[in-house]
Amino acid sequence: MSHQPEQTSASRLQHFPITFFAMIMGMTGLTLVWEKSSHVFSTPPIIGHILLILTACLFLILALVYLLKIMLKTSAVLEEFNHPIKLSFFPAFSISMILLSVATLDVSKQLSFILWSCGSVIHLLLTVYVLNQWIHHPKFKVIHMTPAWFIPVVGNILVPIAGVEHGYTEISWFFFSIGIVYWIVLKTLVLNRMIFHDPIPQKLLPTMFILIAPPAVGFIAYMKLNGELDNFARVLFYTGMFLVILLLVQAPRFTRIQFFMSWWAYSFPLAAAAIAAQIMYSQVGQPFFYYLSLVLIALSSVIIVLLFFRTLLAVIRNEFCVPE
C-alpha cells in the first residue's frame, strides 16, 4: 500500500515538463509591469514587491523540482532535451534568471548581477547548442517549427535591460545584435511555416503570442542601450503593437483551446507590450499612450492572474505531469 504513492510521485516527477518555466517568464513579466507602473503612474510599489516574492519562490520550487528530475530521471530529461519542440523551452530557465535580474535591480544590485551574469552565460550556451542542433541534426522538420523557436535565440535580446544597469554596455550590444538579427530570420521562417504548411497544432496555438515579444522587448532593450526615442525604436514599438492587434482580433479562436501549459505563452508577450507602452508614454507624454498603457496593464494583469489560478487548479486536479 505504501509503495503506490512512491510510484505515483516518481511518475509525476518523470513527466514534470520543462515548459513550467514559461510560467516564471509570465509572472516575472507581470512583476516588471507593476514595478514600471510604480514609476510611471505612481501605483503602490508593494504590488511589485509581492509579485517578486511570489515569483522568486515559484522559480526556486520549479528549479529544485527540475534539478531532482535531472538527478533521478535523467533519461526523461534527455528525452525532453532531444525533443524537436520541447528543446526550445529549456532556455526559458535562463530567460527567467535574466528577467529576475531586472526585477531585483532595486532590491539588491549584487543579487541582480549574479542572476544576470549566470542567466546570460547559460542562455548564450543554450543558444549556441540549439543553433548547432537546428543546423546539423536531421530530426527537425517544418512541422516542428512554432513561434516557441524564438525563445532560445531571440531571448538574447533581454540581456541589455539589466546589462546596461550593471555597466556592461558592449556585452549588452553583443546579445542585442544576436536577438534582433535572428528575430528577423526566424520570423520569416515561422511565417512561411504558418502560411504554406499545415496549421500549428491546437496545443501549441497560444505560442503565436510569442510573436509580440521580440519587437516589444527589442524596443525596451534598445531604449536602454540608446537612451532616447529614435525612429528605429518607433519601428520596434509599432511592430509590436500591430502584432498585439493582429492576435487580439483572433481572441475567439484562442478561447476555444483546451487548457495546456502553452497558455502561458499569452503572458510574457502581453506584459512586455504593457511595459513598452509605459516607456513610450513616459517619452512622448501623449494621452493615447497613457490609455494604451492602462489597457495593456489591465489586460496583461487579468490574463496572468487567470493563468496562475487556472494552473493552480490544474495542479490540484493532477492534470499536469502525466504522459502525453
Here the cell at position 265 is 505563452
Backbone angles phi, psi at 51, to 5 degrees: -65, -40
Question: What is the spatial distance between Cα 12 and Cα 158, in angstroms, rounded to a whole number?
Answer: 32
At 8 the pLDDT is 67
Q: What is the DSSP letter of 82?
A: T
Query: In whole angstroms, how large is the CA radius of gyration of the chain?
Result: 19
At 1 the pLDDT is 40
At 5 the pLDDT is 45
CA dist 70 → 79, 80, 135, 144, 213 (Å): 11, 11, 26, 25, 29
Q: What is the DSSP letter of 230?
A: -
CATH of 3-316, one of 3.40.50.1970, 3.90.79.10, 1.50.10.150, 2.40.110.10: 1.50.10.150
At 254 the pLDDT is 83
Residue type present at position 9: S
Here the cell at position 236 is 520596434
Residue type present at position 160: P
* Sequence-ordered list of residues with C-beta below 8 angstroms from that of 172, at least 6 positions apart, any chain: 159, 160, 163, 164, 221, 224, 225
Going from N- to C-terminal start, the domains of the chain cover 3-316
Whose grid coordinates read 543546423? 135
**Whole-prediction pTM:** 0.93
Question: What is the spatial distance between Cα 229 and Cα 9, in angstroms, rounded to a whole number?
Answer: 52
At 145 the pLDDT is 86
CA dist 282 → 10, 105, 218, 275 (Å): 51, 20, 17, 11
Residue range 28-42, pLDDT digits in tens: 999 999 999 999 999
Beta strands in the chain (DSSP E): none
User: What residues in the chain have per-residue pLDDT under 50?
Assistant: 1-7
